[in-house]
């Protein structure tokens, strides 16, 4: 009888030990699942999202690692590296798959997919790269707090949750932003600057964003002509000043406008007596003014 009780106590202890071990293991597994679930909620997963070409005017190209062809209405940019490129006097309109808005692509502009994602709480996250040129965006307000729409340039990242604004990326990467409605956050060098409706700012590569100033929408130009004669050859130099946010083209060629709005162009002329040039000044809102200059 004593031996039987001893054996029973032994098996009871062993069963309790196994039960405790199993319970602890289950608790650890459950905890692990909770932690994993929490981490996963922060993960952004790639889905079948896209930007679609809605309108084309002039010479517009669809490009990626395997493709370089004229763009067609209905083309979709779906993968990282897919891009739309416009030539001179050419434009395109892209729609966002979620119906959140449109990207108007100006001439001589590149728009490339950096990422198109959906977070686990169904937020839409769109990140586009604009290495050069001008885009005008109309993005409605998001209902999901995790949704974002970012434009990245060589100088700055702009982020919105619903607004209308213009991003102008100069040849040297300097980026001018003008907010037409809502507010846009500009971020560079770990500094954020908010640009509200009716204001504009600029960001130089390697510098933080400037403080916003009111949009001037002023297409006036101050200029002077410098004429030089060297070794029997005539050289004409046009030095001008415009609002820093404006773009300037001379006879269809975009000019480099510095942070202070100054530009300098060496003009080509076959006549030593008379030269005719056309200067077009364009503001961020799209307002243009044409100057037909005759230089003697």
The predicted model gives 150-166 an average pLDDT of 94
Domain 45-214 has CATH 2.60.120.1440: yes
For residue 31 the two structure tokens come to 């905890």
Residue 58, pLDDT score: 97
> Count of CB atoms within 10 A of residue 190's CB?
6
198-217 pLDDT, tens digit per residue, is 999 999 999 999 999 999 99
Instruction: Give the highest mean pLDDT range of 98-102, 196-200, 263-267.
Output: 196-200
Q: Say if residue 251's pLDDT is above 80.
A: yes
The predicted model gives 56-69 an average pLDDT of 96
Residue 77, pLDDT score: 97
User: Does pTM top 0.85 for this prediction?
Assistant: no
281-293 pLDDT, tens digit per residue, is 999 888 999 999 9
Provide the percentage of residues in the chain whose pLDDT is more than 90.
63
Any idea which residue has 């403080």 for tokens? Answer: 211
How far is 236 from 183, CA to CA, in rounded Å? Answer: 43
Q: Say if residue 42's pLDDT is above 50.
A: no
DSSP summary character for residue 207 = S
DSSP summary character for residue 179 = E
- Number of alpha carbons in the 13 Å side-chain half-sphere of residue 6: 3
Mean pLDDT of the chain: 85
Least confident of 34-43, 66-75, 179-188, 228-237: 34-43
Question: DSSP of 2-69, one letter per residue?
Answer: HHHHHHHHHHHHHHHHHHHHHHHHHHHHHHHHHHHHHHHTT-EEE-S--EEEEEEESSEEEE-SS-EE
Q: Say if residue 14's pLDDT is above 70.
A: no
- Topology annotation, domain 222-295: Immunoglobulin-like (2.60.40)
Residue 100, pLDDT score: 86
Query: For residues 91 and 231, which has the higher predicted lDDT (pLDDT)?
Result: 91
Q: Say if residue 48's pLDDT is above 60.
A: yes
Residue 185, pLDDT score: 97
DSSP-based three-state secondary structure for 92:
strand
Residue 143, pLDDT score: 87
Q: Are 223 and 231 in contact (CB under 8 A)?
A: no
Q: Say if residue 84's pLDDT is above 90.
A: yes
The predicted model gives 52-69 an average pLDDT of 96
> What is the band of 162 on the pLDDT scale with cuts at 50, 70, 90?
confident
């Amino acid at each position: 009888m004593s031996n039987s009780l001893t054996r029973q106590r032994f098996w009871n202890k062993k069963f309790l030990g196994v039960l405790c071990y199993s319970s602890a293991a289950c608790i650890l597994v459950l905890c692990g699942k909770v932690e994993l679930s929490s981490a996963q909620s922060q993960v952004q997963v790639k889905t079948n999202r896209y930007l679609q070409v809605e309108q084309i005017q002039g010479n517009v190209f669809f490009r990626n690692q395997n493709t370089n062809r004229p763009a067609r209405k209905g083309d979709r940019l779906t993968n990282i590296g897919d891009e739309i490129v416009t030539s001179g006097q050419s434009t395109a309109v892209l729609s966002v798959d979620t119906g959140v808005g449109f990207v108007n692509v100006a001439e001589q502009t590149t728009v490339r997919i950096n990422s198109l994602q959906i977070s686990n709480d169904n937020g839409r996250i769109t990140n586009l790269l604009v290495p050069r040129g001008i885009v005008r965006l109309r993005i409605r307000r998001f209902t999901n707090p995790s949704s974002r729409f970012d434009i990245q340039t060589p100088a700055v990242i702009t982020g919105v949750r619903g607004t209308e604004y213009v991003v102008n990326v100069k040849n040297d990467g300097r980026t001018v932003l003008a907010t037409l409605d809502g507010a846009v956050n500009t971020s560079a060098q770990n500094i954020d600057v908010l640009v509200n409706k009716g204001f504009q700012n600029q960001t130089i590569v390697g510098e933080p964003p400037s403080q916003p100033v009111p949009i001037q929408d002023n297409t006036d130009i101050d200029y002077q002509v410098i004429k030089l004669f060297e070794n029997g050859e005539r050289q004409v130099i046009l030095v001008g000043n415009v609002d820093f946010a404006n773009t300037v083209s001379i006879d269809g060629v975009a000019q480099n406008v510095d942070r202070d709005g100054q530009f300098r162009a060496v003009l080509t002329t076959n006549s030593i007596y008379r030269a005719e040039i056309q200067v077009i000044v364009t503001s961020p809102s799209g307002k243009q003014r044409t100057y037909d200059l005759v230089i003697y």
